[in-house]
Structure 1
Amino acid sequence: MEKRNIGSLVVSPIGLGCMSMSHGYGPSDEPTSIQLLNEALDVGYDFLDTATMYGGGKNEELIAKAVKHRRSEYVLASKCALFSKDGKPTIDGRPETIRLQCEASLKRLETDVIDLYYLHRLDPNVPIEESVGALADLVKEGKIREIGLSEVSSDTLRRANSVHRIAAVQSEYSLWTRLPELKMLDVCEELGTTFVPFSPLGRQFLTGKAQEASRLTDGDIRTSNARPRFESDAFARNSELLKPLEEVARELNCSLAQLALAWIVNQPNHQGLKTLVPIPGTKHIDYMRENAGAIGVTMSPELLAHLSSLMHDDLVIGERYSEGQMKVMDSERDRH
C-alpha cells in the first residue's frame, strides 16, 4: 500500500479498526482475531487503532498478545478519557486521569510508547487546553509520539492545536455521514492535521451485508446508541439508496465495501492531495482482505462527485446516534 502521513508517522492509506474484535458488535473469538491481526500486517495494513474503552482494556491486551512480537511493523493508536464505570460510559479528561490511563494502556499493550494517543471524547467539565496539556507532557516524556482528538468540533481543534500540534482528528465520516465536510476537513487541512474517518462503511450498512436492528444480537451498538438508522422502517428506506451504488460497483468490478472506501481514500483536499486515512473495523478475515482491495479502485473526480450525490445526509433517514448520544458529541457543534 502507498503511505500517508499523520504528523511524524507514516501509515498505510487504510488502517484497521480493532474495536469489534472485543467490543460493540457481539461475540468474537480470540484465535480468529489473532490470526486476523497477523494477516492484516502481512496484507499491508500498518496502522492499528484501539482504545481504553474497547472491551475494558481487553482489546489492547489482544493486540499485545497477537502482534507485540511484530511491534516494529505497525503504527499503534489508542485513546483515553472514555471508559466504562459501573457498566456506563464515562468521560474524564482530567490530566491525572489521562496519565493513569496512558500508563495502564502501555502495560496492556506491552509497549514502551504509543505512536498516536487520542483524547477519545471531550470532557465538558475540563477545558480542552488542560487535557491537551497533559497529553503534551506525555509526548515530552516519550510515552506517546503524537496527539489526536476524537469527535470534536473544529473550534475545539483550533484551541487544542494552540497548546500542542494535533496530528489527527478521528470522527465518523462516510457516504452516509458527511458532517466533517461542513468545517472539520477544511480546518484539518489548514492546520496540517490528518483526518481519520471511523465507521467509513457505515457500521456495515455500506457493504450491503448489514441487517436491521431487530435481527442483531445483544451487545451490538446498532441495537442501542447507533440504532436510529437501523430501525426497521429507516433501514428499509435507506437500503434503497444502495441500489445505484451497487450498479456503480458492478461497473467497476468491485464490492460495495471497496467502493465506499475508495470514495474516502480518493477524496482530494483543496491542494489536490489525498490525505484521509479511514480505519474500517472488522472481526472477519475475509472482510479485512476485501477492504484492502479498495486501494486498487480508481476514482475520477467525476465519479467521486457522482457517488457523493447518490448518498448523503439529506437523503438518509435517521441520525447516526441516539438523541442522548448526539447531545454530548462536541463534533455536532459544527452543524451550527
Structure 2
Amino acid sequence: MYGVPEPTKEQSVKIIRQAFDHGITFFDTAEAYGPFKSELVVGEAIKPFRNEIVLATKYGWDIDQQTGQRTGKVNSKPEHIKRVVDNMLKRLQTDRIDLLYQHLADPEVPIEEVVSAVQDLMKAGKVLHYGLCEVSPETIRKAHKIQALAAIQSEYSLLFRGREHDVLPVCQELGIGFVPWSPLGMGTLAGYVDERTDFGKDPSRDLRAILPRFEANAMRNNVKLLQLVQKWAKAKLCTPAQLSLSWLQAQYPFIVPIPGTTKSYHLMDNIGADGVQWTNAELNQFRQELEQITIVGDRLPEAILKFSEVR
C-alpha cells in the first residue's frame, strides 16, 4: 500500500504476535484490505490469544463475497451487512466481532436501517459493539440515539487535524471512543518521506502516488511539519513517530491511534510512544508552532473522499 513489498503471511502473523507479546491488545482490520487478505492473516495470527484481545473490522465497500472483486461503490444494505459479517467470522476464525465499523457511509441507505441491521447481529451474538468511520457529527448523534456507539474512526494526525472542531467534541460529549487512522500521516510524521521521495505512478503499489498532499509541490511545503516534529522529538529525546503518536494520545484520554507496520523495528518504535509525556506548557507551545504551518493538498483523492461525510 505504501510502496513496500507485501509481506508474506508468515511475516505478517509473526509481527502481529510480536505486537501482542509487547502489550498490544487492540487489532484493526477490514474486509476491504486485500480484499479479504488482511482478515485471513489476522484471524490466523490471533488464534492463540483470541480471548485476550479486542478485534475490530469493517464492512461497507461493495465487494463480491465470492471473488473479492471491487465495484468502486459502497454497500450498507442490511442484507449485505449480514452476509458480509458471516463471511468475516469465517475468515477471522472467530464466533464474534468485538467492534464492527461501517467503513464509509452509504448515501442510499439511511443510518437507521444500518443500525437496525447491526442490532440484529448484536442480538445474535455475532457483534459485541459497533462504530462508524468518516461520518459527520449529525450522523453520529442520529446513530447513537438508536444504539450506543463504541467508537468513531476517522483520519486524524499532526498532518490532518480536521476532526478537532467537529467530530472530537461530539465524541467527548457522548462518551464515544475515537480511533485515528493514519496517525503517522502515511509515513510523513515518522520521518520516512520528504519532498525528495518518489512514490512512483502506480497507486496499487503506493497509494501516495495519487494523494494530493504528497504531490511534489505540496510536499515542498508540507515538509515544514516534519521539520517541526523532528525538532521537538530531538528536544524530548524520542523519535518523530513517538512524538507524533504521543501527541495524539495527549489530546484526549479516549483516543486510541492505530498505526500499521510490516516491520518489527517500526512496531517497537511505535510502542515506545507510551513513554513520551507532555506537560500542558509543552502542548500549548507546540500547538502555537503547529498553527503556523498550513498543510497543502487534499488528504484523499476525490474518488474516495466523495464517500466520506467529512472532508
Q: TM class, shorter-chain normalised?
A: over 0.9
Aligned 8 A contact 1:60 1:108 in 2: yes
In 2, distance between residues paired with 1:120 and 1:228?
22
1:320 equivalenced with 2:304 (yes/no): no
Identity %: 39
The partner residue of 1:303 within 261, 264, 282 is: 282
For the structure 1 residues 230 and 111, does the alpha-carbon distance in structure 2 shift closer, same or farther, using more than 3 Å as the test?
same
1:92 equivalenced with 2:71 (yes/no): no
In 2, distance between residues paired with 1:186 and 1:126?
26
Letter in 2 for 1:69: P
Unmatched runs of 5 consecutive residues or more in structure 1: 1-19, 269-273
Q: Relative to structure 2, which stretch is displaced further, 184-193 or 317-326?
A: 317-326
Q: Alpha-carbon deviation of 1:211?
A: 5.2
Unmatched runs of 5 consecutive residues or more in structure 2: none
Aligned 8 A contact 1:228 1:319 in 2: yes
Letter in 1 for 2:94: T
In 2, distance between residues paired with 1:139 and 1:25?
38
Alignment of 1:23-172 (within 5 A): 27-84=6-63, 86-172=69-155
Q: Aligned residues, how many?
A: 304
Aligned 8 A contact 2:159 2:225 in 1: no
Q: Alpha-carbon deviation of 1:29?
A: 2.3
For the structure 1 residues 241 and 314, does the alpha-carbon distance in structure 2 shift closer, same or farther, using more than 3 Å as the test?
closer
In 1, distance between residues paired with 2:297 and 2:73?
25
Aligned 8 A contact 2:176 2:254 in 1: no
For the structure 1 residues 88 and 307, does the alpha-carbon distance in structure 2 shift closer, same or farther, using more than 3 Å as the test?
farther
Task: Find the residue that maps to 1:149 and give its secondary structure.
Answer: strand
Q: Alpha-carbon deviation of 1:319?
A: 1.1
In 2, distance between residues paired with 1:302 and 1:252?
13
For the structure 1 residues 286 and 216, does the alpha-carbon distance in structure 2 shift closer, same or farther, using more than 3 Å as the test?
farther
CA RMSD of aligned residues (A): 1.9
In 2, distance between residues paired with 1:311 and 1:282?
26
1:218-265 residue CA offsets vs partner (Å, 9 max, x unmatched): 3221113xx111111111221122222211111111000000000011
For the structure 1 residues 130 and 322, does the alpha-carbon distance in structure 2 shift closer, same or farther, using more than 3 Å as the test?
same
The partner residue of 2:229 within 238, 245, 258 is: 245
Q: Alpha-carbon deviation of 1:285?
A: 1.3
Instruction: Look up the match of 2:178.
Output: 195
For the structure 1 residues 25 and 197, does the alpha-carbon distance in structure 2 shift closer, same or farther, using more than 3 Å as the test?
farther
For the structure 1 residues 34 and 211, does the alpha-carbon distance in structure 2 shift closer, same or farther, using more than 3 Å as the test?
farther
Letter in 2 for 1:108: R
Letter in 2 for 1:77: A
In 1, distance between residues paired with 2:259 and 2:287?
19
In 1, distance between residues paired with 2:136 and 2:23?
32
In 2, distance between residues paired with 1:313 and 1:132?
41
Letter in 1 for 2:40: E
For the structure 1 residues 277 and 313, does the alpha-carbon distance in structure 2 shift closer, same or farther, using more than 3 Å as the test?
farther
1:291 equivalenced with 2:274 (yes/no): no
Alignment of 1:157-236 (within 5 A): 157-210=140-193, 214-216=198-200, 218=202, 219=204, 220-224=206-210, 227-236=211-220
1:79-112 residue CA offsets vs partner (Å, 9 max, x unmatched): 1112445444321011001000100000000000
Letter in 2 for 1:51: A
TM-score (norm 2): 0.92
Q: Alpha-carbon deviation of 1:173?
A: 0.4
For the structure 1 residues 75 and 216, does the alpha-carbon distance in structure 2 shift closer, same or farther, using more than 3 Å as the test?
farther
Aligned 8 A contact 1:208 1:242 in 2: yes
Q: Alpha-carbon deviation of 1:304?
A: 1.8
Task: Find the residue that maps to 1:266 and give its secondary structure.
Answer: helix
Instruction: Look up the match of 1:16.
Output: none
Aligned 8 A contact 2:194 2:223 in 1: no
Which is bigger in relative contact order (C-alpha 8 A, separation at least 6)?
1
Q: Alpha-carbon deviation of 1:331?
A: 2.0
